[in-house]
Amino acid sequence: MTTVSRLRRALATSAIVASALSILTGCGSSDESGNTIRFALDWTPNTNHTGLFVALQEGYFADAGLSVEVLPYNNTAPDTLVDAGNAEFGTSFQDSATFSRAAGAQTVSVMAPLQHWATGIGVKADRTDLARPKDLDGKTYAGFGDPGEGEILRQVIRNDGGTGDFKSVILGTSAYEAVYGGQADFTVSYFAWEGIEAARRGTPMRYFHYTDYGFPDAYAIVVNGNERWLTEHPEQARKFVQALQRGYQLAADDPDLGARALIDANPGAFSDEELVFESQRMLAADYMKDSSGRVGTQTREQWAGYSGFLFDNGLLSGPDGKPLTTEPDWSAYFTNEYLTAP
């Protein structure tokens, strides 16, 4: 799990997994017809998945003649499950999708439910001494140990005129509490959940957005597909992706409907339902749609920007485990082929 992917949700995991299991349809494996499709979640159900639950609730998959199984989150990354053929599709992120494909995974991003970074550098709102990224020099970062995490922060600070030198402590899910309690100075927050949650609990945060300091934008969420399966089942792939895109589009156009679909599909999972609604409204307003109002689209420019940063900083390894020496063809990392026509 990477910086972008990490959604540290204070959820009742067991209840949610049980709920997710309850919506499984069909058996636990794909079929040769291609009409049964397994979708792997990256985490317990949350607002990054609303389009999937909307599509299920509205019957978009069934109308397309598809049976969709939602594979609950477990310790195996969706990229690994999809590459191994244990799922046809799964939730991923531009960074983890890049790491996986560079290492030889036969996966490709078929749509991007979130068009932009949904994370940024978070400091307590009352820290007047931390007015901009360069003020973080010499401070303590509460982090998660994700690949590329430190390089992103250093580059943002340097772009703002700092040195990028700071202390790091790997705290995982305790990082937020460390910042709230003053044991650390900054962390990386997910705006549409932890950001809202912090404000609602009376510990508001202030954020430095990466792109405000010259750092390339990235797709916070993508959907990865198994390339072999896509080649063998192009019609089913198109039907699935377009039904999923339709679900995300409806969740973006009517965020309250999207939030309600997520809650109804996972009864008892969310102790604070208003947080779900606020989260979905934020994602719909700022992150889900491209400049034309569509959801799902991807560009080579955006893939080349952030994934190119990972390559330029020597963070990508090939199938042999050695650092890549030749920049990949980023146009091979994604496709808009299965989306609906504009």
Q: What is the DSSP string of 260-282?
A: HHHHHHSTT--S-HHHHHHHHHH
Total-model pTM: 0.90
pLDDT above 60 (res 129): yes
Q: CB–CB of 7/58 below 8 Å?
A: no
The owner of tokens 């939030």 is 259
Q: Tell me the average pLDDT across 314-321.
A: 97
| Torsion sign, CA atoms 339, 222, 318, 73 | negative
**What pLDDT score was predicted for residue 147?**
82
Going by pLDDT thresholds of 50, 70 and 90, the confidence category of residue 342 is confident
Q: Average per-residue pLDDT in the chain? A: 91
pLDDT above 60 (res 21): no
Q: Measure Cα distances from 213 to 131, 200, 236, 327, 341 in Å.
A: 13, 28, 42, 24, 34
Q: Residue 284 is encoded by which pair of tokens? A: 């719909």
Q: Residue 114 is encoded by which pair of tokens? A: 């979130």
What DSSP state is assigned to residue 64? T
Q: Tell me the average pLDDT across 98-106.
A: 97
Share of the chain above pLDDT 70, in %: 91
Report the alpha-carbon distance of residue 299 to residue 185 in Å, rounded. 35
In the chain, DSSP assigns E strands to 36-40, 67-71, 89-92, 107-114, 119-124, 140-143, 167-170, 187-190, 205-208, 221-226
The owner of tokens 């999207």 is 258
Give, for 342, the enclosing helix (H) or strand (E): none
**What pLDDT score was predicted for residue 166?**
98
